[in-house]
Amino acid sequence: MSEAIQPLLEVDNLSRRFGPQLAVDGVSLAVQPGEILGVIGPNGSGKSTLFNCMLGQLAPSAGEVRLSGRKITTMGAADRCHQGMARTFQLLQTFPGLTVAQNLRVAAQEHQGSMLSRLLRGGWGGTERAVQRSLAFFKLEHLAHERAEALSYGQQKLLDIAMALIVEPRILFLDEPAGGVTPQMIAQLKALLLAANRERGVSLVLVEHNMDFVMSICTRIVVLAAGRILAQGTPQQILHNPTVIEAYLGG
């Protein structure tokens, strides 16, 4: 008796117009629980616009977004966050003058306040436990009392992701997580994202230009071109898709 699995996130025929231009043009996709979905495509193909529409930072011109079957198309970004959707930005969102531990505390408390302690039961103690767990998971314990600005860029990137994950989202959106990060740190980043995915069951959706990174971490890839889905499939299918090679990977 197989039961159809409810997709975690669904995007249905979504479009977003900027004046005369359709930045996203009738995109439909679903993110399954536990999946790691990569969104790739040339500059200007609509990746960020699609991301922002899924996260409630931009209103779609047409179409629908559903979280666990529930329509959230007009729900604001903050409410989506409370429903378990978290994101990182291309630019770091860490507080440079605060220590690593303080940054994590702020991220945890921001959520806690608005959740009226529902997620992080037990007030301050709950926050501190979450901070300690996060420091251990991201292997940042030895840097707990360093200011964020004293960390390497790669370490700050890890902290940024740790801050997004501390509220235990169901789905995490990452905008170019490997951008500007050294190869060594990319390997660590990959291992931590895979561990978060496997151990905590968090689904990941990432926009990324580093093809090695995308191909090695994603379970499925969607290729955008001019606001539309050009192809989707496993990394192997995408790497060998003639249309994708011609339009995007070829050069």
- Where on the chain is the footprint of ligand ADP (CB under 6 A)? 18, 21, 23, 41, 43-49
State the Cα–Cα distance between residues 34 and 204, nearest whole angstrom.
Answer: 8
Nearer to Mg ion by Cβ, of 48 and 112: the residue is 48
Tell me the C-alpha distance between 12 and 20, whole Å. 21
**Binding residue for Mg ion (CB under 5 A) from 48, 88, 94, 203?**
48
Residues 6+ apart with CB under 8 A from 139: 188
Q: Which stretch binds Mg ion (CB under 5 A): 21-29, 39-47, 131-139, 164-172?
A: 39-47
Please report, as a single letter, which amino acid is at residue 182. T
15/48 with CB nearer Mg ion = 48
**Exposure of 92 in the CB half-sphere (CA atoms within 13 A):** 21
38 binds, among ligand ADP, Mg ion, none (CB under 5 to 8 A by kind): none
- Told to check if 88 binds Mg ion by CB under 5 A, we report no
- Where does this chain touch Mg ion (CB under 5 A) — which range of 25-33, 48-56, 122-130, 221-229? 48-56
**Residue from 171, 137, 138 nearest 154 by CA:** 138
Helix 153-165 vs helix 183-200: crossing angle, to nearest 10: 10
Is 49 a binding residue for Mg ion by CB under 5 A? The answer is: no
Residues that bind Mg ion (CB under 5 A): 47-48
